[in-house]
């Protein structure tokens, strides 16, 4: 299939990579050539990492890179595409504009997918002349390592679009779950609940962040505890999502005061060196606040 990926940032370049690895011809489009180049460099780096770890052969790397073209011109990027996947910043007006412009430059029937993590795919699709071709493809970060893709079915998505989306995701060798277009889909909604409750438990002094995380890691088989994950995602990002879910789904998503306080203080997690843990050179070296000094 010919696929256009719009936005060459964190997600877009990864989506382009996994698509090309599955044998699709991919055009990766961004607004400036330096962003396109950065995306292509990211793909080369990911593939080289795979080669170094014996996960990807030199031949597969070369063939994958051959299937990906960089582009800044929208019309050239989406021309003849059967599937367009937008991965531009999380802004409703921008996404509506991007999908409408893409649709106008493609053939009738081209599937237009959004990688939004929280916005309504139904609303994004409302910007299309053929909203039945809209679908959500919620990849996880980083796309080349994460196995799950949520397929988000908007109010207008038709059966053909759904089945193309499912075939595409399975063809990537990923696992799909099909969810209705509701706030937080399946994964964020449950993930955020656990994260917020873990923060409330720290506030109430139930246990230290490390012990709460260990309980979920060892007791429930989570690959990473909810507080450590919050530090990875970014406390500001978590707060923003919680506020969105609260407005859509109710008070059970009310962000705890500790989360607001830490965001105001600029302790945003791993990226700033401190969240619920203290981080040095990307490694967890201790806990924050009242628990400081404990590993």
Nearer to ligand NAD, 115 or 208 (CB): 115
- Tell me the Cα Rg of the chain: 20
Residue of closest CB approach to ligand NAD: 9
Q: Are 80 and 107 in contact (CB under 8 A)?
A: yes
3-state secondary structure of 293: coil
CB of 263 to ligand NAD, least distance (A): 17
CB of 102 to ligand NAD, least distance (A): 9
Handedness of CA 80, 84, 88, 94 (dihedral sign): positive
Nearer to ligand NAD, 35 or 291 (CB): 35
Q: CB under 8 Å, gap of 24 or more: what pairs does 54-59 form?
A: none
Nearer to ligand NAD, 31 or 104 (CB): 31
Nearer to ligand NAD, 126 or 207 (CB): 126
Nearer to ligand NAD, 67 or 238 (CB): 238
CB of 64 to ligand NAD, least distance (A): 19
Q: Are 174 and 147 in contact (CB under 8 A)?
A: yes
DSSP, residue by residue, 61-90: HHHHHHTEEEES-HHHHHTT-SEEEE---S
- Point out which residues bind ligand NAD (CB under 6 A): 6-12, 29-31, 35, 87-90, 98, 115-117, 139, 141
Nearer to ligand NAD, 9 or 286 (CB): 9
- Beta strands 277-280 and 2-6 are unpaired
CB of 270 to ligand NAD, least distance (A): 13
Phi-psi region of 23 (alpha: psi -120 to 50; beta: other; left: phi over 0): left
CB of 279 to ligand NAD, least distance (A): 18
- Residues within the annotated binding site? 7-12, 30, 90, 95, 117, 141, 271
Token look-up 């709460």 returns 212
- Residues within the annotated binding site for NAD(+)? 7-12, 30, 90, 95, 117, 141, 271
Angle formed by the axes of helices 187-203 and 257-264, to 10°?
A: 90
CB of 20 to ligand NAD, least distance (A): 17
């Amino acid at each position: 299939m010919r696929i256009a990926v719009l936005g060459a940032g964190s997600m877009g370049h990864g989506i382009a990579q996994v698509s090309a690895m599955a044998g699709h011809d991919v055009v990766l489009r961004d607004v400036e050539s330096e962003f396109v180049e950065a995306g292509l460099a990211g793909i080369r780096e990911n593939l080289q990492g795979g080669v170094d770890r014996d996960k990807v052969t030199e031949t597969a790397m070369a063939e994958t890179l051959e299937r990906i073209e960089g582009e800044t011109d929208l019309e050239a990027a989406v021309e003849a595409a059967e599937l367009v996947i937008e991965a531009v910043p999380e802004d409703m007006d921008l996404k509506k504009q991007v999908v409408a412009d893409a649709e106008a430059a493609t053939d009738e029937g081209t599937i237009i997918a959004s990688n939004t993590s929280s916005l309504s795919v139904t609303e994004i699709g409302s910007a299309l002349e053929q909203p039945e071709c809209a679908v959500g493809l919620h990849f996880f970060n980083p796309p080349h390592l994460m196995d799950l893709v949520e397929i988000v079915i908007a109010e207008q998505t038709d059966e053909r679009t759904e089945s193309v989306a499912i075939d595409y995701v399975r063809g990537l060798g990923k696992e799909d779950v099909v969810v209705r277009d509701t706030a937080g889909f399946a994964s964020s909604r449950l993930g955020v609940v656990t994260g917020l409750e873990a923060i409330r438990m720290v506030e109430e002094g139930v246990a230290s962040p490390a012990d709460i995380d260990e309980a979920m890691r060892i007791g429930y088989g989570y690959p990473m505890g909810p507080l450590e994950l919050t530090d990875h995602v970014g406390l500001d990002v978590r707060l923003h999502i919680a506020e969105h879910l609260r407005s859509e789904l109710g008070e059970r998503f009310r962000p705890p005061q500790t989360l607001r306080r830490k965001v105001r203080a600029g302790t945003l997690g791993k990226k700033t060196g401190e969240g619920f843990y203290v981080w040095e050179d990307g490694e967890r070296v201790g806990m924050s606040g009242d628990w400081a000094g404990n590993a």
